[in-house]
Structure 1
């Protein structure tokens, strides 16, 4: 099991492993929230330390966003840009999918990334101390659960690297385990705000499944990545607003 956990951790971060393969990672996708806990503790601890050291809130936000990008390798952020490009293309689902696969980032993708980064920096700057740690921790856990939920209820738009994830996550027992890994820390430490963020995260994921199914004919790897980023941001906004 440790090898499998290591493979999943390597997939979601820049930490390399020699044993990872896509099918193994997809088979253990339900462990994503556990990796979210580890990433959240690291990022949250970093943000907490900067905040307690008296660093300007906007600088804290900028540095924390940079740390997230470094640890996760920004491949999910790239999915957000590709998804935005695909959504803005007029025409058939095939044209939209082709736009997502284009190696160059279009204007929609650039705007989406800029707005996302601004939103992240501003959201993080609105909190401090332990509340910032809590917001960063739980937003990361919910973001990882959102990908598991999407893979569990969605259908693949086209044969590709996303296919194993959507096929192997149809086991409801695995979704139940992911739900348990997510809900347990939220119930213990997240409080009512955590539960609101979790409920919004689930609703937002369902909305993105509907949008992706209508626009692309299903879920792609880019859409999974975009869901991770957007759910993280929405969760952060809830934590700093309530």
Structure 2
């Protein structure tokens, strides 16, 4: 249990700006074991986002509360995943071959493809979240941040790492089966929990409808992005994991929005 707590703190410290105790004798390989807690870190970020939204909605209009919530998640993560999305868009959009794509992705400058992808993502998220019913939005934030990080972990588990150097290299190894099972449990907990509440309070059909409508967009986006990476890079990088998180988070919000309109 002591080692698992250490791995969780490593995941929190690596992916957020939340203060964690200093960990002595740190080894990079430990971050590979910490991968099982990435969705749990996402759940924590989503919970903080939901709390920020609720508190600010007591004072400001709903649209302003959503902006506060989005700003809180960007600050908490240091725009870690948004940066990956922008770099991925620049590399895949501007490079003619694999080597050039990887070279562009390592460039810290923001190009036109990255700027368009980043602005578009933020606008889509804002519109989707503001359109969600207030009773559903906090759950959406929690589940969206958790599920999207599970999507990134599943890429790590099923694809090779293609960069020999970079900020995410310590994470770029094959996950064990136990790591993947733990990550799946944390990533699916809030999503399946809400479906269970629907089953108890409404019907099994309502729960099934929720599961299908919210998960289908996530699976489609995950499949599309993974195949795009296989065709262009024959694997993944840390930047493309960040892009996967952003894309599947938005896909979940859109699915949740579609489901809420079927009620």
- Is the shorter-chain TM-score for this pair beyond 0.5, marking a shared fold? yes
Tell me how far 1:154 sits from its aligned partner.
1.1
The one-character-per-residue Cα deviations of 1:120-153 (angstroms, maximum 9, x if unpaired) are: 1111111243311011111011111111111001
Distance (Å, rounded) in 1 between the aligned partners of 2:213 and 2:150: 15
Distance (Å, rounded) in 2 between the aligned partners of 1:7 and 1:50: 30
Mapped contact 2:52–2:68 kept (Cα < 8 A): no
Structure 2 residue matching 1:205: 3-state secondary structure: helix
2:77 is the counterpart of 1:81: no
Distance (Å, rounded) in 1 between the aligned partners of 2:238 and 2:227: 15
Structure 2 residue matching 1:117: 3-state secondary structure: helix
Structure 2 unaligned spans of 5+: 196-206
Q: Choose which of 116, 125, 131 in structure 2 pairs with 1:120.
A: 125
Q: Choose which of 182, 199, 214 in structure 1 pairs with 2:231.
A: 214
Distance (Å, rounded) in 2 between the aligned partners of 1:229 and 1:149: 14
2:233 is the counterpart of 1:228: no
The one-character-per-residue Cα deviations of 1:207-235 (angstroms, maximum 9, x if unpaired) are: 21211121123101100011111111111
Mapped contact 1:157–1:213 kept (Cα < 8 A): no
Mapped contact 1:152–1:166 kept (Cα < 8 A): no
Tell me how far 1:194 sits from its aligned partner.
4.9
Q: Choose which of 9, 15, 18 in structure 2 pairs with 1:15.
A: 18
Structure 2 residue matching 1:231: 3-state secondary structure: helix
Tell me how far 1:26 sits from its aligned partner.
2.1
2:258 is the counterpart of 1:241: yes
Distance (Å, rounded) in 2 between the aligned partners of 1:239 and 1:32: 22
Hey, what does 1:49 align to over in structure 2?
55
Mapped contact 2:94–2:113 kept (Cα < 8 A): no
Q: Choose which of 97, 112, 115 in structure 2 pairs with 1:110.
A: 115
Mapped contact 1:126–1:240 kept (Cα < 8 A): yes
2:46 is the counterpart of 1:40: yes
Structure 1 unaligned spans of 5+: none
Hey, what does 1:134 align to over in structure 2?
139
Distance (Å, rounded) in 1 between the aligned partners of 2:73 and 2:211: 20
Distance (Å, rounded) in 2 between the aligned partners of 1:184 and 1:14: 24
Distance (Å, rounded) in 2 between the aligned partners of 1:202 and 1:163: 26
Tell me how far 1:92 sits from its aligned partner.
1.3
TM-score, with length taken from structure 1: 0.91
Distance (Å, rounded) in 1 between the aligned partners of 2:27 and 2:111: 31
Structure 2 residue matching 1:233: 3-state secondary structure: helix
Q: CA RMSD in A?
A: 1.9
Structure 2 residue matching 1:4: 3-state secondary structure: helix
Structure 1 pair 237–131 and aligned structure 2 pair: CA distance change class (3 A): same
TM-score, with length taken from structure 2: 0.84
Structure 1 pair 196–163 and aligned structure 2 pair: CA distance change class (3 A): farther
What is the number of residues matched between the two proteins? 240
